[in-house]
Every structure is written in structure tokens, then in C-alpha cells.
Amino acid sequence: MENQMFCYQCQETAFGTGCVLRGVCGKQPATAHIMDLLLFVLKGVGLAASAMNEKGIDLPEEVDKVIVDGLFATITNANFDNDALSRKVTAALNLKDRLVALAEEKGVELPEAEALKISAEPADYQERGRKVGVLKEENAHRRSLKELTMYGLKGMAAYYEHAARLGHTDRDIIRFMERALSTIASATVSDDELLSLVMETGSYGVKAMALLDKANTDSYGQPEITSVNIGVGRRPGILVSGHDLRDIEQLLEQTKDSGVDVYTHGEMLPAHYYPRLKKYSHLIGNYGNAWWKQREEFSRFNGPIIFTTNCIVPPTASANYSGRVFTANSTGYPGWKHIPTDAEGHKDFSEVIALAKQCQAPEPLEEGHIIGGFAHHQVVELADKIVEAVKSGAIRKFVVMSGCDGRMKSRDYYTEFAKALPQDVVILTSGCAKYKYNKLNLGEVNGIPRVLDAGQCNDSYSWVVVALKLKEIFGLSDVNDLPIAFNIAWYEQKAVIVLLALLSLGIKNIHIGPTLPAFVSPELLETLQTTFGLGTISTVDEDIKAMIG
């Protein structure tokens, strides 16, 4: 049977090889084809932009936004709205044509490439997209190298967008994105050049995460150790999911004295750690768990829900919450209202607030508190205490268990792994992977919690900063000599850029799971294993022996 679509960018891809009938995420073939066309056109934008960058020609301002928004919108679980995606294709096509005309005007020679010549009307987008998807590159190894870079770019774009919304930009990162898209589009680029590009993508991933870290901390202060309520209050509430701190700040400001409380969900949990967000007394707590449990949890929240970024699970036909979900930024879902951003970066949440006032308070899912806020600044402040615990033998090892959560039963491995770790091992976590163990009572070591949560997936950067600081303190020549192991859970493309970032920094012996990416060819896997020591998980007992000793 001919494939209706092809997508293998997430960990749960069908049969571990690729979704061909519809996405496991809920993405329909028509949506997949429009996304494929959008990415193909962005390659054309990258070709033209990169050629003009080499000649020092100034580009239109919207190049940055179109590339970043287009890449972000195609991340797993971000946007299911064909109309919204089609508008992004139209914008990308128009920009690509303007860049081609500008190159001609400036005397810049562009390569012969289909991505520069492609044109289509909205009615044809799905059919055109069917012809320019992932499988257009027939060589499996070259396809693997190109897609690994593409997925890294998607994760990078997500982090860059958050930083840009807080006024922090870096044209050098955008120029790399343009050059990377241009290289991927090339039919003559060598395998060695593609592998080099993969590693360079990781290096720019570090820059993007550092940019976002500075944007967040400049805007909201350094994260602090914080006890977060996981119960509910008595007033109506608004639930904010995703990752965008600027959005929750604007919502908190607009809901002051409104009688409406605000709750975080999923990856928005770390908003509670920032001093300038904690000051809002109506930021009540965190509701629920990781993204994949949202169908059940949203039905009990009772109030409006706002998706600021990806992690949308399409609701069932009978879902009682569909009429009270809103999307923002690069996200979208058919039938859900989208909150626009004006030219000054402002969103008007008045409709959401008015709806919340008509709703009942959330039903409790659980009660108690969880501790977080261990980003690099806070951990470095504890450095003396940590070093003393390591030197005394109270802490034998740290295990970085950052990354993603997901629906597969095999992910229970991470809960069992955390439970089975010896009492002298401390977990360093970030991303929604923490929901597998952050509510376990794992105790402390000399007053240091055994689960140190730095924050969102992008806050994996904190563990790089901490590792480099500990390397300096212990006087080591190689970061790999530290008592730190890496057991990373991946799901989507933001985890891909985190992994590439770690590899680019020379960090070795990283284990990933619960399964290998379907987009990594046998040849590329061998390179990653032999050059970087990349490993996979096996059983809890075997992995604890291998990682902890």
C-alpha cells in the first residue's frame, strides 16, 4: 500500500520506523504534506538568504520570523491547523520569491535548486507537499544526516523564538539556520560535510540555549529553590501549558485582582522558580503531570487552557474542554481560538479571563508540594556543599536524567531507574522527563534533594554550566572525568538539539532511550557510538551497573 504520508521525527513513530497512515501524534496526512511543503520552501529561503549573506547584503526583517516560526510550527504536537499552516507556506513562498528577486537585483548568483523555483497555489499545497517530503532524498544515510540537522534546527528555533519574544536575538544564530537549510537543500554536498553540519548544529544549539537562559534570567531573575503547590484553590483558574514565559507573565499581569487564579501545566512548571513571576500571589500551583496525560486532566480542570507552545494532544470527539482551549505563537488546532500577538509583542487575554470567570474551580488531582529551581546559578551557590558531599563520599555520582516524557509503557523504565539508584546518587533533571520521578520520595543527601530540577528542556544548558564549573573546582582536564552519567529520555526535536549540544561539547557516554531514533541510519549510529560513545538503555539493573558501578 502506498504511504499516505511519511514522518519519523518523534520517538513514538509507528513501529519504530515511521508513520505512514497518520501520525501517532494525531497528525493527518494532509497536515503532514503541508508541513513538508513548508519545510521545503524554507530550504529555498535558506538557499537565497545564505548566498546573499556571503555577499554582505542586508535581508528583509521578516526572514528571521518566517524561518523560526516555520520550523517551530512543524515540531511534534505543535500545530494541527491546516489553514494556519497553509498561511505559513504562503508567507514563506512570497518571501522566497522576494529573496530570489533581490538576489537578481544585487547580482548574486543562486544555485540551480528546486527549492528556489517551487511555486504553488493554496489549493495545490497538499499535492506539492506529497512530492517534497522526507523520502525525496532517496539515500537513507544522507537522508539521516540531513534530517538529524533539520530536527536540531527545529529545536533550536523553538528556543530562539522564546528568547526573541523577550528581546534577545542573535543574527549569527539565524545566519547559521539559513546556511544549514541551504546545505540540506544541496544535492552535491558530501556526507562528511553533512556530518560536520550535524556537529555544528549542536554548537549553535548551545548558543541558542545560552541566549534563552540570559533572556529568561534577565527578564525574571535567577531561578530559586521553590516549593510548588500541586493542589488547587477555590477560585476559577486558567491553565497555562507549554514553555513561553513571556505569555504567562502577560497573563499574570492581566489577571491581577480579577478573582481568577493561574496554574502551570507540564513544561510551564518552572515558571514558579523565577522571582519576578513568583511575586504574583494568584500563581497558585502546578496542575497535573506531563503533556500526554492532558486529555484526562484537562477534563477536570474546568477552566480555560492556553497552549503557548507544542505538546498538544488532539482531544477526543467527546472532550468536554475543546470549547475552552486557546493557542498562541506557533501552535494551532482546528476549532480552537488562536490568540494573536501584536506588533509590540503583546497578547490580549481578556476573552480567556472572561471565560474563566464563568467556570468552576479546578477539581483536585492530588495535593502536596514538589521542589524545583535548581538551575545553574542556584546549584553553583551550593557548590561548596556539593563538593564537600562528593569529597566525603556522601554523593558518589550524579545522573543527568533530562529530556522528555511520553505515553509508551517502556518509559516506566525511568521511574524504576530512579527508584533503584543507590542513596548516594543524585538525579539532575530538566524537561518533562522529571514527571516520571519528581513526585517520588527519594530523600536527601546531606540536605541536598536527590532530585534537582533545573527547569524546562532548554534548561539542560544548566547542567552543562554546572559540569564545567565542577570540572574547574575539581581541577580536572576533561569534563568526562567528573562523576556524572547521562541517561537521557527523548521524544521530539527539542531533545534532539539538547543531545547534539552535549555531543558538540565533547560529552561522552550518553545513554538515550527508550528507543533509538528511527531517523538515525546504521552508518550514522555507528559513528555516534564509536566517536562519541553514544549508548542505549537496556535494563535498570544493567544500566545502573554500567553508569554507576
Domain boundaries, the chain: 14-218, 226-357, 373-547
Range with lowest mean pLDDT among 173-187, 265-279, 378-392: 378-392
What is d(CA 177, CA 67) in angstroms, rounded to the nearest whole number? 8
CB atoms within 10 A of CB 388: 12
Q: Inform me whether the pLDDT recorded for 193 exceeds 70.
A: yes
* Rounded (5°) CA angle 47-500-530: 115
Instruction: For the chain, state the CA radius of gyration.
Output: 23
Name the amino acid, one letter, at 497.
I
Name the amino acid, one letter, at 302.
N
Q: Tell me if 226-357 shares its fold with 373-547.
A: yes
CB atoms within 10 A of CB 242: 27
User: Long-range pairs for 345-349 at CB < 8 Å and ≥24 separation?
Assistant: 345/165, 345/246, 346/250, 347/247, 347/250, 347/251, 348/254, 349/238, 349/250, 349/251, 349/254, 349/255, 349/306
Question: Could you tell me the CA-to-CA distances from 281 to 173, 233, 261, 302, 305 in Å, in that order?
Answer: 37, 12, 9, 21, 19
Q: Are 20 and 14 in contact (CB under 8 A)?
A: yes
Q: Inform me whether the pLDDT recorded for 304 exceeds 60.
A: yes
3-state secondary structure of 517: coil
Name the amino acid, one letter, at 79.
N
50-57 average pLDDT score: 96
Q: Inform me whether the pLDDT recorded for 385 exceeds 90.
A: yes
Q: Which tens digits make up the pLDDT trace of 197-243?
A: 999 999 999 999 999 999 999 999 999 999 999 999 999 999 999 99
Which residue is associated with the grid cell 559513528?
527
For position 1, what pLDDT does the model report? Answer: 41
* Rounded (5°) CA angle 209-212-214: 110
What is the percentage of the chain residues whose pLDDT exceeds 90?
A: 97
Helices and strands of the chain, counted as H and E runs: 19, 16
3-state secondary structure of 168: coil
> For residues 489, 204, 91 and 244, what is the CA-based torsion angle, rounded to 10 degrees?
50
Could you name the CATH architecture of 14-218?
A: Up-down Bundle (1.20)
Q: What are phi and psi of 425, to 5 degrees?
A: -115, 135
User: 285: which strand partners?
Assistant: 263
Sign of the CA dihedral running 121, 124, 128, 129:
positive
517-524 average pLDDT score: 95
What is d(CA 68, CA 180) in angstroms, rounded to the nearest whole number? 13
Range with lowest mean pLDDT among 93-107, 150-164, 526-540: 526-540
476-490 average pLDDT score: 94
What is d(CA 338, CA 326) in angstroms, rounded to the nearest whole number? 6
pTM, whole model, 2 decimals?
Answer: 0.96
User: 512: which strand partners?
Assistant: 488, 536
For position 509, what pLDDT does the model report? Answer: 84
Tell me if the bond preceding 483 is cis, omega within 30° of 0: no
Beta pairing, strands 451-453 & 237-241 = unpaired
Fold of 226-357: Rossmann fold (3.40.50)
What is d(CA 336, CA 327) in angstroms, rounded to the nearest whole number? 7
Q: Of the candidates 395, 390, 473, which has an alpha carbon nearest to the alpha carbon of residue 427?
A: 395
Q: Inform me whether the pLDDT recorded for 63 exceeds 90.
A: yes
Nine-digit cell string for 26: 494525531
Q: Inform me whether the pLDDT recorded for 2 exceeds 70.
A: no
CATH class of 373-547: alpha beta
CB atoms within 10 A of CB 227: 12
